[in-house]
Amino acid sequence: MKNSRHDAPGTRHLLKIGLMGGTFDPIHYGHLVTAEQAYHTFGLDSVIFMPAGTPALKHHPEILPREQRFIMTVIATSNSNHFEVSRLEIDRPGPTYTVDTLMELKDIYKDQAEFYFITGADAILDILAWRDAKKVIMNANIIAATRPGYDLVHFEQVEKKLNIKPKVHFLEVSALAISSTDIRRRVKQKKPIRYLLPDGVYRYIMKKGFYV
Ligand code: NAP
């Protein structure tokens, strides 16, 4: 097993694995900056991007097919040595539940890793509606990425209702001014999206004619 990158040589410690959960429709620089900031702030060994297969609580009806979102995530992360992309949720049929992913990963890594589930703060606010929310919280640290100025008051109510104190860390990410919703809207309105996301992803969207 690889040592944590802050361990002295020869010592064996738990791997610290970031799980970057999202629909990534499409992936953009806000996501990449979030993952990079989490990697450095929490001393993670790697960040695994986990595109959701069929997002459980998704409201917008025209989500791109899972395989296309997976390909864009691979393109976007290809330059980083500490980012990986998993097919775990892409290959699992039915709605995507984070608890299933965590249980599968725990089975793969046994007791050799601890997990940091990273996603948007708004998604975490809905955690009460997630399948086995308590199990998710008990098996992962949660990193909730916020835009600057985000009001954290809603989280206190969520914590009260859960009856257990979730290990939620907040990470303020300026680049989250970028959003997938805005990118999709901009394409539809024929506005530029270049430089909001990696060039390879931009070219792939244009080539395939997504979001028009
Ligand atoms: P969402 O509701 O589409 O996203 C809510 C907000 O968070 C949006 O502003 C979104 O911005 C942002 N966001 C999403 N992923 C992010 C990330 N990795 N880093 C930074 N910001 C992010 O959320 P979602 O994509 O459906 O779900 C997010 C994660 O929670 C996924 O892993 C999903 O599987 C999990 N989840 C699990 C359950 C369950 O187990 N029942 C239910 C709901 C969600 P963008 O639109 O720009 O990404």
Whether the predicted pLDDT of 3 surpasses 50: no
Q: How confident is the model at residue 13 (pLDDT cuts 50, 70, 90)?
A: confident
Whether the predicted pLDDT of 161 surpasses 70: yes
Q: Check residue 2 and give its pLDDT.
A: 44
Q: Check residue 59 and give its pLDDT.
A: 65
Spans of all domains in the chain: 15-208
Q: Check residue 173 and give its pLDDT.
A: 97
Using the atom order of ligand 1, give the atom closest to the CA of residue 173: 20
Mean pLDDT of the 106-125 span: 94
Rounded distance from Cα 50 to ligand 1 centre (Å): 11
3 state DSSP class of 63: coil
Q: Which residue is closest in CA terms to ligand 1's atom 1?
A: 123
Using the atom order of ligand 1, give the atom closest to the CA of residue 181: 46
Q: Check residue 109 and give its pLDDT.
A: 94
Q: Which residue is closest in CA terms to ligand 1's atom 7?
A: 120
3 state DSSP class of 20: strand
Q: Which residue is closest in CA terms to ligand 1's atom 46?
A: 180
Mean pLDDT of the 84-94 span: 97
Range from 108-112, 147-151, 204-208 carrying the lowest mean pLDDT:
147-151
Rounded distance from Cα 9 to ligand 1 centre (Å): 37
Using the atom order of ligand 1, give the atom closest to the CA of residue 136: 40
Q: Centre a 10 Å sphere on the Cβ of residue 128 and count the other Cβ atoms it contains.
A: 11
Mean pLDDT of the 97-105 span: 97
Mean pLDDT of the 166-175 span: 89
Q: How confident is the model at residue 159 (pLDDT cuts 50, 70, 90)?
A: confident
Closest CA to 173 of 130, 198, 153, 143: 143
Distance, CA of 153 to CA of 159 (rounded, Å):
11
The third-level CATH classification (topology) of the domain covering 15-208 is Rossmann fold (3.40.50)
Q: Which residue is closest in CA terms to ligand 1's atom 41?
A: 130
- Which backbone phi and psi does 26 adopt, to 5 degrees? -100, 170
Q: What is the mean pLDDT of the chain?
A: 91
The strands making up 141-146's β-sheet, listed across from edge to edge, are 83-85, 46-51, 15-22, 113-120, 141-146, 168-172
